Chains A and B, each alone.
Chain A
C-alpha cells in the first residue's frame, strides 16, 4: 500500500527549510491546490544574517573549491532530473519546454562552475606603473547580494542570476519567481545536497511587489541583481544606502538561450577591486 504525500513548498534560509514566520501562504496562479510560503519582510530580515554566515564560509573557500561545488550542483540537478521536470511542469511548462529549461539550467551551472577560478584572472590585472613596483589589482566578493529572479522562466530566471553572484564569491538572498515558484524553491533541495555551505544561497518566495522595495532598503544587503526592466523607485531606495544595482532586462526568448546567459558582466558589478603595490627587490 502506498500513500501519496504532498510537498509543502517552504523557504530555504541558512541551510534549513522554514515556513514563513508570518505563517502566510499563497497559491501561485492556476495552482489552487498548492500552498507556497509567502515570505514577509521579517523572513528577509532573518535571511540576511544567515547569508552573512554563509558568506564567511563561501568567500573563505578557495575559488577552485567553489567551482567544484557548483559543478556538484549541476550533477545534482542532473540526478534529480525527473523531480525538477515535475516542478517545472507545475509552473505551467509543457514537457518539451520543461526539458529545454532544465538543460539550459544544467549547462549554465557547469559554465559558471568553470568560471569560478577564472574570475580573478579575467577581472583582476597586473598594472604597469612608473617606479620600481609590482602593481596588481585583485578582486574580492562584495558581500550579501539580493537577487530578484526574472519572471520569464521559473528555474533559469533564478539560477542565471544567482550563479554569477556566487561565482564572484558572494552570498545570495534570492526571491524566486512569484507566478511559478516551485522549481526555484526546489533549487534549495539541490543546494542542500551539493556541499553549498548553509546560508550561501537563500531562497524566498512571495509577492515581488511586497518584497522588492525591502530588498532595496535593507542596509545590510550590499548589492542587487534584478531580473526585469529598470525600476526608478527601487533604484532610488537602493541609492539611499549606496547599494549597487544591476538590471538584467533581456527579451523573453533570451532566457532560454544559454549563450546569452553566460555573462561575465553580471559577475563584475559584485566584486570589489583591490590594488596592491609591492616593491621590486633591488
Chain B
C-alpha cells in the first residue's frame, strides 16, 4: 500500500518559539525531592530503551545490555526492568533470545538508520526481517530530504508503508529534530507521523547534535496531546539522545505530566532512548537509599 484514498491535512498551528522555550525552562525549575524523586527515578528506569547503536556492537555486548535491562540493579528488587533494548537489526535475534521471559521488549532501528538514504524496497525488507527476527518495536527514520523539500505526502506514504510492514510490532518514528531546523517543522513532522499511524514519535537518532532538547520534546508532547483531543488516539513520545543525568530525566517527566497528564506517565506512552542515563539514575537511587554519593565504577559499564 502506498497511498490512502483520503487526502490527509498536514496543516498545523504555528509555534511560538519564545513561549515554548520559556515554558520548557519554567517547568525545569520544579524541585523534586525524597519520596517523589524516588518514584520518579524508578519510573525513569522503567521508561528507558537501553540502547546500543555502534558499529562495534557484538553479540556479547548485546547480551550484557539485555541482562542489565532485565535487572538494572540486581541487589535491589524494588528497581524495575527497563522497557526495552534497542539494537541494530542484525543483533535482534541475539537480543530476543537474551530477553525471553523477562518482559523486556526488543526494539530495532530500521529503514537505513540513521540517514534513511536507501531505497524504499530495502527499507521495507529490513523492517520485515527485523520483525521476523523477533523485534516487537521498530524505530524508523523519516526521509528528511523529502520532508525538507516539502514533500510531506511522500514522508506520510513511507511511514504508512513501514507501518504495514511492521505488522504487530509497534512503530516509533524518528523525526531527527536536529536536522529539521525549526520548531514549525518539528510540529508538522510530528503531525504527519501521527496521521500516518505512528505508535510513538521519537526525537532523534542520537547521531546528530543537537539531539533531544526539552523545548522540542515539549512541542512533540503538545502535538501528541492535540492529536489525542482531535482523534481520540494516544500516541507515545520518545526522547532520545543527549539525556545523561537523572536530574535531566526528571525534568522531562515534569514536561510529560504537565502537558499530557497522568495517563502518559507510563512506559507505554513515554520512553527515554539512552545508555549512560541508566547508571546515573541507579547512582541517584543508591544515593537516596544510603545517603552517600556513589562511585560510578561501582556500577556495571555498558
Contacts and interface: CB of A to CB of B under 8 A. Distances in A.
A217 interface: yes
Interface in A13-55: 44-45, 48
Contacts of A44: 293
Contacts of A207: none
A268 interface: no
A219 interface: yes
Interface in B265-302: 291-296, 298
A208 interface: no
A218 interface: yes
Contacts of A241: 292, 295
Q: Which of A44, A45, A48, A241 has the most CB atoms of chain B within a 10 A radius of its CB?
A: A241
Contacts, number: 19
A220 interface: yes
Interface residues of B, number: 7
B72 to A, nearest CB: 18
A215 B294 CA distance: 12
Interface residues of A, number: 8
A280 B69 CA distance: 47
A17 to B, nearest CB: 23
Interface string A205-225: 000000000000111100000
A47 B263 CA distance: 39
A218 B287 CA distance: 10
A94 B298 CA distance: 49
Most A CB within 10 A of own CB, among B291, B292, B294? B292
Contact of B298 (A217, A218, A219): A219
A48 B287 CA distance: 15
Interface in B199-250: none
Nearest to B292: A217
Contacts of B298: 219
Q: Which of B291, B293, B294, B298 is most buried by chain A, counting CB atoms within 10 A of its CB?
A: B293
A241 B292 CA distance: 10
Contacts of A48: 293
A159 to B, nearest CB: 26
A220 B296 CA distance: 7
A44 B292 CA distance: 12
Nearest to A237: B292
Nearest to A41: B293
Contacts of B293: 44-45, 48, 217-220
A48 to B, nearest CB: 7
A220 B283 CA distance: 11
Could you say which of A44, A48, A219 has the most chain B C-beta atoms within 10 Å of its C-beta?
A219
Contacts of A218: 292-293
A31 to B, nearest CB: 31
19 contacts: A44-B293, A45-B293, A48-B293, A217-B291, A217-B292, A217-B293, A218-B292, A218-B293, A219-B292, A219-B293, A219-B294, A219-B295, A219-B298, A220-B293, A220-B294, A220-B295, A220-B296, A241-B292, A241-B295
Given A217-B291, A219-B292, A220-B296, 10 more contacts: A44-B293, A48-B293, A217-B292, A217-B293, A218-B292, A218-B293, A219-B293, A219-B294, A220-B295, A241-B292
Q: Closest 10 A-B residue pairs measured CB to CB?
A: A219-B295, A220-B295, A218-B293, A217-B292, A219-B294, A45-B293, A219-B292, A219-B293, A220-B293, A219-B298
